[in-house]
Structure 1
Amino acid sequence: MRARTSIRTALMCGAAAIIASPVWAQDNDTVIELDPIFLGKSKREVQTDIAESETVIGQEEMNDRQASTIAELVDSVPGVTLINGASPQGSGINIRGFGANPTYGSDQKVLIQIDGASVGSEELYRIGTQLYTDPELYKEVTVLRGMGGSYEYGSGAIGGTILLETKDASDFTNGELGFRFRETLQYNSNGDGFTSSSILAWQPTEDFEVLGNYTYRNQGLQTDGSGAIIGNSDFSLPSAALKLRKFFGDAKEHRFELSLSDTNSEALDVPYDSFGTTTDSFGNVDRFTHTQTGVLTYGYNPADNDLIDLSVVLSYANQEIEQSYVAGSSSLEGTPSFPFLLPLVEADHQYETTKLTVKNASTFATGNVTHNMRYGAEFSQRDRLDASSAPGGTDERLALFLVDEMDFGNGLILTPGVRYEDQHIGGSGTYYDNSALMGGISAYYGFQSGWGVFGSAGYTENMPIIDDLGTAAYMTQPEKGRNFELGFSFDNASVFSESDQLGFKVTGYKTDVWDVTSYSHTVGTTSYPVTEINTRGLEIEGRYAHASGAYVDLNANIQRGTFRAPTAPAGDQNGDWRGIPADQLRLTLGKRWGETIDLSWEIVADANMSRSTSPTPSQVVNNVRATFRPQSGVLEGAEVRVGLENVFDELYTPHLATRPAPGRTLKLSLAKTF
């Protein structure tokens, strides 16, 4: 996973540490104690010194949000919208108008990786994204919006990329030998949800560590703001993870790492349509979902050679979905239509993705330009089980990529990236070959005053998928997309007072997609292919923190989009793109008292969305959160968190969602590391 530190922030922190330390006179006889400098912090850093639209959600914010699903972790990022999200079934993630939609849980335009393993399914009808995993397994989530920064991870990231990083034993042992045990208990009032997460971290030597994690999450049926039951909202989700890391060599330059995770979900007598809340003509099913990922990594990073930082990553992701129809649950049972419906609702699915990635990072200089170059090769194979409702097959790809971050030393950073991908896809004796060259460039220029300007341009192709094997014309027609971004940022201390810090980033973007094969436009009862989508938007991220502990976080997104369906009847060939979310403003006001108490009030305001065949009214939702970390006494080291979401019990359905949002929900968690 990429890591980048703000030079300006590092210098300020370093200066603060020096000033806060004792200052020694030259004769070592006099010590002058200076008061420590505390600039304060907000919930989330804003990546003001890069051109990419990147948001990093760290462990502290993840803990404070007390999310029940991965989707709930990322919905606070501007440009990210959930299709439902309070439960893993029937939920999906939409980024800048692409990704999940109320019909399919994925359109292959949002990449999701866990420790480098590519996860997520193809287009399963009415079954959501199948991102069945627990937030407690992870310590960091990085969201890349748009194509910028995606070329080393995959192709077709028109909406964006989500990178999840699992926890390490050293996160709890802090490098000290021995055992550490962390237990987290959480309760949700809406649906009587209960979660237990148990983590055992063991570091027997300085160069070897082991982590085991077992999390059990259970939730009953939730209610909306009116008190009505939200059907199909209950779930149980047991998850387990194992992670080992071993360093070798005199300077620990060699590293081996193994990461395994396993999640099961059982849903009995539930609507086949996981986006819905009640039984419809599809009837009910018993559905069992099993998700596994495994990642084996070898790393070589010699301290005396800046040209070598090698990683070899072998990953495997497997998901199995078993479904059986519940007799008598469909209104169509006994009619001529039912024999055609039954194969759909009883279809079993399995996806297996094996990937080998060899990547190296080199740091070197050419004249006054410093290069941080990342380059490598990737081979992947995805196998899909043949099902009565969807074709099976194999998708093999070979990719070469290179990203070069060039720092000119005068505030200018240019980052070109390129990816070449070759595909061999097919099944039942019929195969197709495709290849594409993709790439882009971003530029950032930072001024000494703290201001920065940036821009980027990118092009990518979304390769044909196994699900489209039944349509030969689609199998040689990759979807193509380009993206342009322009913006400015600011990050500096002592803006309004001598002990504060302000940072913000404003990004305007334009995305065009053509040769589209993923969508159709329905007029009456007839569907017509959508061939072109054009979107544009504005995203704002901001934070303010004061040494008093007061802080403000702000995120906003405004987006518009249109589509073109040239074969539709006149007057219906163009319109507003249905994947566009409602305009949103998210404001958090908070106050910290050292490391002991953190109180915050979050306001989420969605504008009226009338540019849709399913319009939604405006709504304002309030959430309050409190974190208490006793620094002494019997509770020293414990972490108590209380959250009250949808404080005023608003009844609303977010735009793009198919279910009402949960009503007032009290969340309480207790965690301690022993």
Structure 2
Amino acid sequence: MADRAGRSRALILGASIFSLSLGFADAGFAQAAATDGAGRSPDRQKQAQRQSRRQPKPQNVQVAPAPVLNARAQIGGTPVQSLDTITVAASKTEERAIDALAPVSVVTLEQIQGLQPKRLADIFYNVPGVSFQDRGDDPATAINIRGLQDFGRVAVVVDGARQNYQRSGHNANGSFFLDPELVGGVDIVRGPTANIYGSGAIGGVVSFRTKDINDALRPGERWGVDMTGSYGTNKDRWLGSVFAGVRADPNVDIFGGVVYRKQSNYKDGNGTEIGNTGNEIAGGLMKLTVRPAEGHEIKFGTVFQDYQYDIGQFNRGPVLTAAQRALYQGSSVYASDTRNYTGTLTWKYSRPDDMWFDWNATLYGNRTENNQVKTYHSSTAGAALCGAGNFGNNISGCVGDRRGYVLDTIGIDVNNTTRFNVGDWRNALTYGVDAFQDDVKTSDSRGNSNITTPGGLRTVSGGFVQLKNNYSTWLEVVSAIRYDRYDLDSATVSTGGDRFSPKITVGVTPVAGFTPYISYAEGYRAPSITETLIAGAHATGGGPNFFTCADGSSGLFCFLPNPNLRPEVGKNKEAGLNLKYNDVFTTGDSFRGKFNVFRNDVDDYIDLVASAPEPVPPFVSYSRHYQYQNIAHARIEGFEAETMYDAGTWFVGVAGHLIRGKNTQTNVGLATITPRKVTTTGGVRLLDRTLVLSAQWSSFGANNDLPTGYLPSTGYELVNLYLSWQATKDIVFTASVDNLLNQYYRPYAIPGSSTDGTTQNDVLFSSPGPGTVYKAGLKVHFGGA
């Protein structure tokens, strides 16, 4: 399973980054002259001052932040609530999340470090409207916002680069690879209210920022190194990372780091070991930042990750009859090597005296390459090779057969903001263009993956104009129009389309701290390559062929392409309330709250639809055809809340959602809905706030409103405990207990088999979450001027 040479290269890369960084350092560099109190260069300080002066929302309604669980707070920094964090995700202009007239949430680096996450889903418990459809045997992340997922309905970006990987199988149809140790912060926007952010995001946007030099260097430091190590039970969860940076010059920063993570198979809450949940991950990043002139910042960034894991589960299905034995001869297991490469070039410009230009331009490329080798199939006793009359399983072949999936994405995102005043109106006009191209290549010696994940080329582009108006201190209006265009081409199909999508938001602040708003926004998602082009017979896996398809191939059923598939259009109505108060009960305390209700009507919703069952003697009846089709209308509606009260020495908050979604044609619920999530977080700060103890209780409701053939998710309660102790200014000890009650849970509904409605075994037995996990970690900082 281990690619030792790859791991060695990653460690050598980390050592090289650090030594290279020190080599660039200027011995005569004076940090005190080059930075302000926050570790920013004079140029960055001017930019920050300019942003503060030019912020459309008047500054006299901004309130001072209050303390919250925050590693920097424990070493004397200025702590802030996460909702006070600056974000640009909703409107492309800087604003605090609490002030945004949109359902925006932020996860900070300090929160991530306190949680000691194994995978990205662990950091989103406090974010309403967000859930995950992850498999235990696959380290990829499949994110769901308000019941929408798959095929780009949620736009995921890492340092501005779109993550569009998709592989069809018994899993979510859309995932991405990112280790949480590389993450420096996350912005989440729920619903198509962020339609200016990019095409396709009818569910929302999740924007990840990887770690950068300001995450490793403290104020006054010229260079810095953060070293982290941790261990966890259930079973043998190891993590080691090193991140280092140096300010080689007042206008040149160099930063890099490496991470290595490994774990063995875990047990679920019932004590059952879940096969193939072990994995080994090595990754790293490097960034070079140059400020060639006042106001200009150019950043070169690259991220590399290598995931080694086995995917697939041993057969545990019903094999009591001859027919069942023919259908369930076992699941294949594949040794998988997935590599993800991301490269970005970003150019930002901002000057205090320039009201016309404040731009951000990003050029990026991303490759996800998944190579798999079959290592086991229960019908071949796990060791049979092709030859001597053995032709293997007709889906996946013999042990030793290979298949691979590659997605290359290149893209550009350019936007600018022009600010001007007209009387008492302060105005910010933001406009931009963006485009990306997906190139999918699939290889499979047996040909089945070429059918289920067809290759092709898709180009998606768009542009937008947004006007943000602020009048006095009590009125804000945000209006926008976006244009989207897509073209999809393959050897057999050429199609495309375009559309304008509007957005309007109005918010009022009649009294300080109380801001209700209403919003209407539309989003447009182009059909993916798979949805449009999938065609051919689905192999039987060793049983009899039920149907012959139009191309002469035979299998369990036939996929039909749909070149006439229409794009989805989301039409979201929303009403929200932002609450922001300081000194509520005592001096220095604070309360933050965001509440919203929404209804997202999705026209031409795309789903995989089966034809009417036909008799297949001597078996029962089965569907001959499966095709992605437009459903006239799907409706998703719900309520979301995110709150936090912080008194300094203690804090408590509640966040969560209630959501329901239906296919309005059939009045049947959508399988991807998480109906209820309520997370309560509370804690205390002791020993002059160097010791933080906290607990988190998350309550999830089961999804029982499902199409025929689905196994409902489980309702469950997760209780997690966290400890963070700042032993010295340079040493932090963390410990946690995940799933304290050792609950068994399956967080999402399991689809039925396409042949007889029974549960797909490989999904069923790879979906339960781990039982109780104990973790402990140590972070050590080195730095100097």
Q: Shorter chain as normaliser: what TM range? A: 0.7 to 0.9
Name the amino acid aligned to 1:538. Answer: F
What is the aligned partner in structure 1 of residue 777 from structure 2? 669
Structure 2 residue 334 is the aligned partner of structure 1 residue 285: yes
Whether the 8 Å contact between 1:581 and 1:656 is mirrored in structure 2 is no
Unaligned 5+ runs, structure 2 = 1-47, 68-75, 86-96, 318-327, 444-449, 535-559, 614-621, 751-763
What is the aligned partner in structure 2 of residue 168 from structure 1? 212
Aligned pairs, number: 629
Which residue of 496, 507, 517 maps to 2:606?
517
Structure 2 residue 304 is the aligned partner of structure 1 residue 255: no
What is the aligned partner in structure 1 of residue 656 from structure 2? 556
What is the aligned partner in structure 2 of residue 622 from structure 1? 719
Which residue of 206, 226, 229 maps to 2:273?
229
What is the aligned partner in structure 2 of residue 575 from structure 1? 668
Deviations 1:30-66 (A, max 9, x none): xxxxxxx999866665933222111010111011111
Name the amino acid aligned to 2:498. Answer: S
What is the aligned partner in structure 2 of residue 314 from structure 1? 363
SS, match of residue 64 in structure 2:
helix
Whether the 8 Å contact between 1:96 and 1:580 is mirrored in structure 2 is yes
What is the aligned partner in structure 2 of residue 546 from structure 1? 647
Alpha-carbon shift at residue 558 of structure 1 (Å): 0.3
SS, match of residue 170 in structure 1:
helix
Deviations 1:390-411 (A, max 9, x none): 3211112331112222211231
1:672/1:39 CA distance change after superposition, 3 Å = closer
What is the aligned partner in structure 1 of residue 180 from structure 2? 135
Whether the 8 Å contact between 2:120 and 2:141 is mirrored in structure 1 is no
Name the amino acid aligned to 2:654. Answer: L
Alpha-carbon shift at residue 81 of structure 1 (Å): 1.0
SS, match of residue 216 in structure 2:
helix
Which residue of 349, 353, 356 maps to 2:412?
356
Alpha-carbon shift at residue 353 of structure 1 (Å): 0.7
Please give the alpha-carbon distance, in whole angstroms, between the structure 2 residues aligned to 1:523 and 1:144: 39
Whether the 8 Å contact between 1:223 and 1:230 is mirrored in structure 2 is yes
Structure 2 residue 143 is the aligned partner of structure 1 residue 62: no
Which residue of 191, 197, 209 maps to 1:146?
191
1:661/1:131 CA distance change after superposition, 3 Å = same
1:398/1:39 CA distance change after superposition, 3 Å = closer
Whether the 8 Å contact between 2:712 and 2:749 is mirrored in structure 1 is no
SS, match of residue 192 in structure 2:
coil
Which residue of 439, 445, 456 maps to 1:393?
456
The 5 Å alignment of 1:472-511 reads 473-475=562-564, 477-511=566-600
Alpha-carbon shift at residue 204 of structure 1 (Å): 1.2
Please give the alpha-carbon distance, in whole angstroms, between the structure 2 residues aligned to 1:330 and 1:265: 28
Whether the 8 Å contact between 2:102 and 2:576 is mirrored in structure 1 is no
Please give the alpha-carbon distance, in whole angstroms, between the structure 1 residues aligned to 2:573 and 2:362: 32
What is the aligned partner in structure 2 of residue 604 from structure 1? 698
What is the aligned partner in structure 2 of residue 215 from structure 1? 259
Whether the 8 Å contact between 2:282 and 2:307 is mirrored in structure 1 is yes
Deviations 1:509-533 (A, max 9, x none): 1011121223336887436856031
The 5 Å alignment of 1:398-547 reads 398-428=461-491, 430-467=493-530, 468-470=532-534, 473-475=562-564, 477-520=566-609, 525-526=622-623, 529=629, 531=631, 532-547=633-648
Greater fraction of residues in strand: 1
Name the amino acid aligned to 2:575. Answer: L
SS, match of residue 60 in structure 1:
helix
Of stretches 656-665 and 64-73 in structure 1, the one that deviates more from structure 2 is: 656-665
Please give the alpha-carbon distance, in whole angstroms, between the structure 2 residues aligned to 1:61 and 1:370: 35
Please give the alpha-carbon distance, in whole angstroms, between the structure 2 residues aligned to 1:370 and 1:273: 63
1:472/1:606 CA distance change after superposition, 3 Å = closer
User: Pairwise CA RMSD of aligned residues?
Assistant: 3.2
What is the aligned partner in structure 1 of residue 548 from structure 2? none
Whether the 8 Å contact between 1:225 and 1:664 is mirrored in structure 2 is yes
Please give the alpha-carbon distance, in whole angstroms, between the structure 2 residues aligned to 1:464 and 1:280: 35
1:536/1:522 CA distance change after superposition, 3 Å = farther
SS, match of residue 62 in structure 1:
helix
Alpha-carbon shift at residue 330 of structure 1 (Å): 4.6
Please give the alpha-carbon distance, in whole angstroms, between the structure 2 residues aligned to 1:642 and 1:449: 40
Name the amino acid aligned to 2:465. Answer: L
Q: Please report the TM-score for the alignment, with normalisation by the length of structure 2.
A: 0.74
Whether the 8 Å contact between 2:314 and 2:330 is mirrored in structure 1 is no
Please give the alpha-carbon distance, in whole angstroms, between the structure 2 residues aligned to 1:596 and 1:523: 64
Name the amino acid aligned to 1:465. Answer: S
Whether the 8 Å contact between 2:195 and 2:522 is mirrored in structure 1 is no
Deviations 1:537-559 (A, max 9, x none): 00011110114x11112102101
Please give the alpha-carbon distance, in whole angstroms, between the structure 2 residues aligned to 1:267 and 1:625: 29
Structure 2 residue 744 is the aligned partner of structure 1 residue 651: yes
What is the aligned partner in structure 1 of residue 89 from structure 2? none
1:159/1:398 CA distance change after superposition, 3 Å = closer
Greater fraction of residues in helix: 2
1:15/1:641 CA distance change after superposition, 3 Å = closer
Name the amino acid aligned to 2:168. Answer: L
Which residue of 311, 315, 323 maps to 2:372?
323
What is the aligned partner in structure 2 of residue 33 from structure 1? none
SS, match of residue 238 in structure 1:
strand
Alpha-carbon shift at residue 638 of structure 1 (Å): 1.0
Please give the alpha-carbon distance, in whole angstroms, between the structure 1 residues aligned to 2:561 and 2:138: 33
Whether the 8 Å contact between 2:474 and 2:509 is mirrored in structure 1 is yes
Whether the 8 Å contact between 2:306 and 2:337 is mirrored in structure 1 is yes
Alpha-carbon shift at residue 207 of structure 1 (Å): 1.0
Which residue of 402, 410, 431 maps to 1:375?
431
Deviations 1:403-452 (A, max 9, x none): 22221123111111222122221012642231121221122212324211
Name the amino acid aligned to 2:596. Answer: T
Name the amino acid aligned to 2:312. Answer: P
SS, match of residue 553 in structure 1:
strand
Of stretches 447-456 and 311-320 in structure 1, the one that deviates more from structure 2 is: 447-456
Please give the alpha-carbon distance, in whole angstroms, between the structure 1 residues aligned to 2:529 and 2:714: 38
Please give the alpha-carbon distance, in whole angstroms, between the structure 1 residues aligned to 2:408 and 2:355: 36
Please give the alpha-carbon distance, in whole angstroms, between the structure 2 residues aligned to 1:10 and 1:182: 37
Alpha-carbon shift at residue 499 of structure 1 (Å): 3.8
Please give the alpha-carbon distance, in whole angstroms, between the structure 1 residues aligned to 2:419 and 2:108: 26
Of stretches 397-406 and 198-207 in structure 1, the one that deviates more from structure 2 is: 397-406
Whether the 8 Å contact between 2:195 and 2:482 is mirrored in structure 1 is no
Deviations 1:339-395 (A, max 9, x none): 355499843111111112221122222232212222112232221114423321111
1:603/1:43 CA distance change after superposition, 3 Å = farther
Please give the alpha-carbon distance, in whole angstroms, between the structure 1 residues aligned to 2:249 and 2:79: 36
Name the amino acid aligned to 1:369. Answer: W
1:90/1:313 CA distance change after superposition, 3 Å = closer
Unaligned 5+ runs, structure 1 = 17-36, 100-105, 566-572
1:8/1:225 CA distance change after superposition, 3 Å = farther
Alpha-carbon shift at residue 12 of structure 1 (Å): 3.6
SS, match of residue 234 in structure 2:
coil
Whether the 8 Å contact between 1:82 and 1:656 is mirrored in structure 2 is no
1:280/1:158 CA distance change after superposition, 3 Å = farther
1:339/1:295 CA distance change after superposition, 3 Å = same
The 5 Å alignment of 1:22-33 reads none
Structure 2 residue 202 is the aligned partner of structure 1 residue 158: yes
Please give the alpha-carbon distance, in whole angstroms, between the structure 2 residues aligned to 1:98 and 1:335: 43
Whether the 8 Å contact between 1:459 and 1:480 is mirrored in structure 2 is yes
Whether the 8 Å contact between 1:193 and 1:220 is mirrored in structure 2 is yes
